Amino acid sequence: MPLKVFIAVCMLSGISLSAQDMGIASASIEAQATVVPSIGFTSDSDSPSHADFLVWGRKSSNLQVSIVKSTGGVSEEEPVFLASLFVPYATFSDPRVRREISHLQADGSSAVVVTVVDIAD
């Protein structure tokens, strides 16, 4: 007898679930976004031949560029200057950056670190 009761309960449960499934349904989609970093360099800028580099960011953004050069373990920070990015992807070729990079020593004893920050309008 207990077995019959158990079977009956299972059958009722099955009916209930089936009825519920028929009146409700759900489905998911995904919200997707790709964040593009506000600044980027296409190539290693440790060679004078790569003084130009690609910058990406928002169109018409204003950039704050800082240059830190180091030679023989001594770091020297150049005055910060501003630049503009007129298109989302642009070749960035500022004479000040080019000048510093051109001073790099081929033996690796010097380095230039360029930092570009998208600043508010």
Interface contacts to other proteins, rule CB under 8 A:
19, 21-38, 57-58, 88, 118
Q: Which is nearer to other proteins, 78 or 118 (CB)?
A: 118
Q: How far apart are CA 97 and CA 95, in angstroms?
A: 5
Tokens of 15: 């009916």
What minimum distance in Å lies between the beta carbon of 23 and other proteins?
5
CB of 109: closest distance to other proteins in angstroms? 32
Tell me how many degrees the CA angle 20-21-24 measures, rounded to the nearest 5: 85
Which is closer to other proteins, CB of 60 or CB of 105? 60
Phi, psi of 90 (to 5 degrees): -150, 150
| Closest distance of CB 105 from other proteins, Å | 32
Nearer of residues 27 and 74 to other proteins, judged by Cβ? 27
Q: Which CB atom, from 37 or from 79, has the smaller least distance to other proteins?
A: 37
Give the single-character DSSP code of 58: S
Q: How many CB atoms lie within 10 A of CB 107?
A: 6
